[in-house]
Structures are given as C-alpha cells and as structure tokens.
C-alpha cells in the first residue's frame, strides 16, 4: 500500500529546479505546498474509499497524492505538459491515479467519466486560477454530469461572491448562478503563504453540493439575471426594460413585477433566487401568451 511521502516545500522546490520548471503567470500557476491545507481539502470534500475524484489542476501533485491515499480512484487533468515528468516522480507508486494532460474545457468529460469511473458518480476537487474559474464551473454545472460534490479553492474575493446572499455587497450574478445549481459554503480560508510562488491574495475553499434541479426556462432565467445585474445601480424595472436582449416593454415588466409581488424600485442585489425564479416563470408564460393580461396569468 502506498504511503504518503510528505514532500516539504524545500523538497518541492528541489524537484522543480531539477526538472528546470519555470512557473507560468499566463496559467495562473501557484502550487499548494502545505500538508495541513491539503488534508483539510480532502476532508472537506468527504473523500473516502468509495469516492471517485476528478481533480482539475494537480500542479506538482501534493493534493493529488492526499486524494489518492483516501479515494477509490483519482483522475487528474493538467493543462501544462511540462509537469509530466514531475508528476511521474511525485505520484510514482500509486495504482489508483491517472493523469490526463489536456485543457479540461476541451475534454468530453461525460466520455472520460464513463471510461475512467465506469459511469459512477464522482466528486470534483480543483484549485482554480481566477481567469478560468467561471468557465470551468459553467462546464461542470451545465453538462448534466454525474457529479455529487464540487470542492474548489479560489481567490477569497471570488469565494465571497460565490456564496453571497441577497443584500450583501458581494451578491452578484455569479452568486445566483452558483445557487441555481448547488448549495455553496466556504469551508475555510487559505493564506497566500501556503503556495509556491506566493500569490498577492488569499484564497478560500468552497464546497458545493449539487442537489438543486429547478423546473424553469434556464435560458430565460439567466437572461433575466444578466439583465438585472448589467445595470445593478438602476431599479429592477429600469434594468429589465432597458435590456435589449430581453426585449420586453416597461409596462409589461411592471405588470410582471406586480404579479411577482416585487417592488419595482428594488435593485438586482436585493432579489433572492426564488424571486428571480418566480419572475422567470411569469415572463415565460407571458411570452407564450403574448402578454394578454393578468387574468390569463393568474
């Protein structure tokens, strides 16, 4: 049975130097080198011998190793092929790890999950650079993948927006997007000192349980949310009625807001996801009926 080698920061530095590895700013590379944080992430993700894990961005493999020690199987996707000899060294001896070198956004994850995990449900664990956080989450949420849990480490400011509630300064379209698909929670914050090289900002680990399936026109829902937050300083009636892609007249918006029991002078950040869902259902029905009056909607 493989045992943990407990690479120290100095050992990781020596490995990187021996392989002539230089960090890429373009890829947002900041490798996690703290064993305590690695263990906390694995615990937060609930990884045990029955867990199949898809890891995105293994870096030098410190978290990958911890996951493999506890999980049934780990498949890691790494974009930077320069890390191949390094990961071959740091992950040697593990029979339950496979590393795929590719851009995860270009992969057919359904096919990979079917092939590598026999179609069983999985947990996703990732250390996500800021520039690619939203695209990767969109891919994971919107492609009907057999995922039960997503545990990600992101910049602290992003984590606050992901988990923000109505009325807070961090509440945004991202907050609503995350809550549409999951129940998010910040597990713990991570100081910048546990990375190599050290980033300028701190991070946080966010856990998202995927247990929500809303029966609503998803495309229209996100169009309404985008319209509302595109002009978040405006009242909700002005933001929605002036958004060209929504293409709904102000009087019709007013009628819908009244039916939804939403004060037209409120702003985007004041509305809960339930209010956006209700508004979507009313607008969807109205569009199908051609706005033929309140009686048809009641």
Q: What is the CATH number of the domain that holds 128?
A: 3.40.50.150
Q: For residue range 65-111, list pLDDT tens digits in order.
A: 999 999 999 999 999 999 999 999 999 999 999 999 999 999 999 99
Q: What is the pLDDT of residues 238-278, one digit of tens each?
A: 999 999 888 899 999 999 999 999 999 999 999 999 999 99
pLDDT of residue 25: 87
50 among annotated binding-site residues: no
pTM of the model: 0.92
Q: Residue 52, annotated ligand binder? A: no
170 is in an annotated binding site: no
Report the pLDDT averaged over residues 15-22: 94
* Pair 43, 92 in one domain: yes
Q: Are residues 176 and 73 in the same domain?
A: yes
Would residue 1 count as lying in a domain? no
Same domain, 232 and 94: no
Domain encompassing residue 37:
9-209
3-state secondary structure the chain: CCCCCCCCHHHHHHHHHHCCCCCCCCCCCCEECCHHHHHHHHHHCCCCCCCEEEEECCCCCHHHHHHHHHCCEEEEEECCHHHHHHHHHHCCCCCCEEEEECCHHHCCHHHHHHHHCCCCCEEEEEECCHHHHHHHHHHHHHCCCCEEEEEEEEEHHHHHHHHCCCCCCCCCHHHHHHHHHCEEEEEEEECHHHEECCCCCCEEEEEEECCCCCCCCHHHHHHHHHHHHHCCCCEHHHHHHCCCCCCCCHHHHHHHHHHCCCCCCCEHHHCCHHHHHHHHHHHHHHHHHCCCCHHHHC
In this structure, what CATH number is given to the domain that contains residue 226?
1.10.8.100
The pLDDT value recorded for residue 177 is 96
Residue 103, annotated ligand binder? yes
- For residue 294, the model assigns a pLDDT of 45
- Model confidence pLDDT, tens digit, residues 101-141: 999 999 999 999 999 999 899 999 999 888 899 999 999 99
Q: Is 10 annotated as a binding residue?
A: no
Q: Is 278 annotated in some ligand binding site?
A: no
């Amino acid at each position: 049975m493989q045992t943990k080698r407990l690479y120290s920061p100095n050992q990781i530095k020596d490995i990187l130097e021996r392989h002539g590895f230089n960090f890429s700013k373009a890829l947002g590379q900041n490798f996690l080198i703290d064993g305590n944080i690695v263990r906390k992430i694995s615990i937060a993700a609930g990884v045990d011998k029955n867990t199949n894990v898809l890891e995105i961005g293994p870096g030098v493999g410190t978290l990958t190793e911890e996951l493999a020690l506890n999980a049934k199987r780990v498949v890691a996707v790494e974009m930077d092929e320069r890390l191949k000899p390094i990961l071959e060294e740091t992950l040697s001896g593990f029979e339950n790890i496979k590393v795929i070198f590719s851009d995860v956004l270009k992969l057919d994850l359904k096919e990979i999950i079917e092939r590598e995990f026999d179609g069983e449900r999985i947990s996703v664990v990732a250390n996500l650079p800021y520039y690619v956080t939203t695209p990767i989450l969109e891919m994971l949420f919107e492609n009907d993948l057999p995922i039960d849990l997503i545990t990600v480490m992101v910049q602290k400011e992003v984590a606050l927006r992901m988990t923000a509630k109505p009325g807070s300064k961090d509440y945004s379209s991202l907050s609503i997007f995350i809550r549409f698909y999951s129940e998010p929670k910040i597990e713990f914050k991570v100081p910048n000192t546990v990375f190599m090289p050290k980033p300028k900002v701190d991070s946080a680990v966010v856990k998202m349980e995927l247990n929500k399936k809303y029966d609503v026109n998803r495309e229209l829902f996100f169009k309404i949310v985008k319209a509302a937050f595109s002009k978040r300083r405006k009242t909700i009636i002005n933001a929605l009625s002036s958004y060209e892609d929504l293409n709904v007249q102000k009087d019709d918006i007013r009628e819908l807001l009244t039916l939804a029991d939403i004060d037209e002078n409120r702003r985007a950040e004041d509305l809960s996801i339930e209010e956006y869902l209700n508004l979507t259902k009313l607008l969807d029905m109205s569009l199908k009926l051609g706005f033929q009056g309140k009686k048809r909607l009641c």
